Chains A and B, each alone.
Chain A
Amino acid sequence: MTIILFDGLIYASVLAVLCVGLSLTYKITSVPNFAHTSFAILGMYMALIMSKVLGMSVYLALPVAFAASGALALFMYYGIIRILQKKKSSLISLIIATLAFDMFMIGVLNIIADGIRNTYQVNSRDFTLRSLDIVIGGDGGLPLVFIVTMVLLAGLAFGLYYLLYRTSFGMSMRGAIENESLAQTLGINTRTIFCFAWFLSGGLAGMAGVLMSMWFQGDPSLAAIMLPSIFAGSIVGGFSSVYGAILGGLLVGISEVVGTSVLIDLLGYWVIPYRPVIPFIAMIVTLLVLPGGLIQLITKYKKRKNITMKKAEEEKEGSKEEEDGVGA
């Protein structure tokens, strides 16, 4: 029972962190990044290299993975997405570009995996670093990775709130996301902001990968296996809100783990390979019932309130107001 609890909470939190990054880059670039999970797999291999190859504490891999995956995401944005967007590429070509980058990264990660095995004789496929972790209170106690994962997720939720709503950099970030050219005319270097956001979401994914490999397994194939889950989590959350993404990621993650274990009890072990059906169902149900995701429930209410306030203001001064068009 406790194992399912740890499984569910760690997996769900890791998923939530990944969904936050995916939603953040989607909000900024309007491109769903199909290579987002490969940032996490890079983090897994950073964990393997730090611990098994270099013999250091696996927790040291957290900052290293943050930097490495962040740099990779930055390269992807600055070297590929931004250039295509400057050339006014269509959304389809941008999506295909992220898919292509994903395939490229899977190749690279496989090379890394084989390189580690051949050079250092370390198992580099379906590896787990769980045995390296510290368990507080001895066998059956509290694994440190569980605490670190919870702290990371809570820190992320609070940190993002602080960044976006309490610092002028975060406010500029929200402004730049809403209206890039207005932000620029007001002196905000939107390129720096977007690069920062891509770096951050890549780096977070890298850390999520480290934590993943410390409880579950690490393997290049996870890039494809986890993709439906992080898209499902982001879609359930609304795909453009970081808080929606946390909620959606947690929900999808927990239903995957708990749902599968319930189904195993009911139907037998043969259901395990069908686990990805759960995120797909979550995705489909959300798109059918609540296309704007969970966050829509909140924004709907807020919007209604804003419209009433605006109407009141205008009635007071009797001005006629045009609806805003597009343009700077």
Chain B
Amino acid sequence: MASSRNALGGSSSDSGSSGRSGSSNNGGGHAIEIKDLACGYGKNQVLHGVDFSADLSKITAIVGSNGSGKSTLLKALFGLCDVKSGSIQALGRDITHIPTHAILNYGISYMAQRKNVFQDLTLRENLAVVAGRQRADRAMDHFPELLPFLDRPAVTLSGGQRQLLAMAMILVHNPKIMLFDEPTAALSPKNADIIIEKIKNLNAEHDNCIVLVEQNVKYALRNCDKVYLLASGHVVYGGDPEPLLNDKDLASKYLGM
């Protein structure tokens, strides 16, 4: 237990330095660099030859229809699916075969699309899992909305509150890179705005690299610096958002616009 706590505690202090050394290391390289990635679940290959990169202080969006492999791409970064070939680098370091629980130490954190908080644990306990008991309360500094619920089981939260808690949990270690998988799914527009505002603030304040999977394309394109369009596991577009919006062909074929 002591060792796991140390590993966690240590990561928060050195994720800053790893971020700094990372950005100087790769000398103008990308915060995330995925090359020719093929991955899937067991025999079922989902992504085919995916090239992807994302930069510090930018928001990179991933869009595509249901089942196109957006979540799988984020899961690949976190070792949650089977990588068959290709390489994944984060802040200049290779993380292709790092076990899931150790990836946090590379300055990355990941907020899953579903089940991203422990339902049976109270909010305070959820935070204690990532921050240790002493620091749990401080993790709430950016989320005053949640303070009244600290001692309630997370299962009693509304959808929006739960997403906020999930965010609070991944922010504990000041990650340089943050992966959000549909953080606004199933939220009312008001709550979705709150979440997106938080994400944009993070980006503006801390030069973080943010990767955002979004179902709502217009929403995503309005808020991002770079966009990837996935279709059946292939990248069909990667680059600035405007050309994608203006490309009638792509837009109508994949985005239903």
Return chain B residues, CB-CB under 8 Å to A325: 114
Cβ of A139 within 8 Å of any chain B Cβ, yes or no, is no
Return chain B residues, CB-CB under 8 Å to A172: 4, 129
Q: Do A171 and B125 contact each other (CB < 8 Å), given the known contacts A185-B110, A318-B188?
A: yes
Between A178, A187, A318, the greatest number of chain B beta carbons within 10 A of the residue's beta carbon is seen for A187
Cβ of A184 within 8 Å of any chain B Cβ, yes or no, is yes
> Interface code B175-202, partner A: CB below 8 Å = 1, 0 otherwise?
0000000000111101100000000000
Return chain B residues, CB-CB under 8 Å to A186: 104, 109, 129-130, 169-170
CB distance from A40 to the nearest CB of B (A): 26
By beta carbon, the residue of chain B nearest A325 is: B114
Separation of A316 and B71 alpha carbons in the complex (Å) = 31
Cβ of B141 within 8 Å of any chain A Cβ, yes or no, is no
List residues of B (130-158) whose CB comes within 8 Å of A's CBs. Answer: 130, 132-133, 152-153, 155-158
Is A321 a contact partner of B156 (Cβ separation < 8 A)? no
Is B115 a contact partner of A187 (Cβ separation < 8 A)? no
Separation of A178 and B125 alpha carbons in the complex (Å) = 13
Separation of A310 and B115 alpha carbons in the complex (Å) = 16
- A-B pair count, CB < 8 Å, reads 138
Cβ of B80 within 8 Å of any chain A Cβ, yes or no, is yes
CB distance from B114 to the nearest CB of A (A): 5
CB distance from A172 to the nearest CB of B (A): 5
Is B156 a contact partner of A313 (Cβ separation < 8 A)? yes
Separation of A313 and B161 alpha carbons in the complex (Å) = 9
> Interface code A156-175, partner B: CB below 8 Å = 1, 0 otherwise?
00000000010111011011
CB distance from A183 to the nearest CB of B (A): 7
Return chain B residues, CB-CB under 8 Å to A324: 114-115, 119
Q: Do A168 and B133 contact each other (CB < 8 Å), given the known contacts A306-B153, A310-B157, A321-B159?
A: yes
> Interface code A238-262, partner B: CB below 8 Å = 1, 0 otherwise?
0000000000000000000000000
CB distance from A107 to the nearest CB of B (A): 36
CB distance from A213 to the nearest CB of B (A): 32
* B157 in complex: contacting residue of A168, A190, A313, CB < 8 Å: A313
Separation of A128 and B185 alpha carbons in the complex (Å) = 64
Is A317 a contact partner of B112 (Cβ separation < 8 A)? no
Separation of A189 and B158 alpha carbons in the complex (Å) = 29
Q: Do A175 and B121 contact each other (CB < 8 Å), given the known contacts A310-B155, A313-B156?
A: yes
By beta carbon, the residue of chain B nearest A169 is: B1
Cβ of A327 within 8 Å of any chain B Cβ, yes or no, is yes
Stretch in B5-13, B46-54, B211-219 touching the partner: B5-13
* B187 in complex: contacting residue of A174, A310, A319, CB < 8 Å: A319
List residues of A (62-86) whose CB comes within 8 Å of B's CBs. Answer: none
> Interface code B71-82, partner A: CB below 8 Å = 1, 0 otherwise?
100010010100
Is A178 a contact partner of B159 (Cβ separation < 8 A)? no
Cβ of A131 within 8 Å of any chain B Cβ, yes or no, is no
Is A182 a contact partner of B156 (Cβ separation < 8 A)? no
Is A328 a contact partner of B112 (Cβ separation < 8 A)? yes
Between B116, B125, B158, B186, the greatest number of chain A beta carbons within 10 A of the residue's beta carbon is seen for B158
Identify the A interface with B (CB < 8 A).
165, 167-169, 171-172, 174-175, 178-179, 181-190, 192, 306, 309-310, 313-314, 316-322, 324-328
Identify the B interface with A (CB < 8 A).
1, 4-5, 7-8, 11, 71, 75, 78, 80, 99-105, 109-110, 112-121, 125-126, 128-130, 132-133, 152-153, 155-161, 169-170, 173, 185-188, 190-191
A-B contacts, 26 of them at CB < 8 A, read: A167-B1, A167-B133, A168-B5, A169-B1, A169-B5, A171-B125, A171-B128, A171-B129, A174-B120, A174-B125, A175-B125, A175-B126, A179-B115, A184-B99, A184-B101, A186-B169, A187-B8, A187-B11, A187-B103, A314-B158, A317-B160, A317-B191, A321-B158, A322-B159, A326-B114, A327-B113
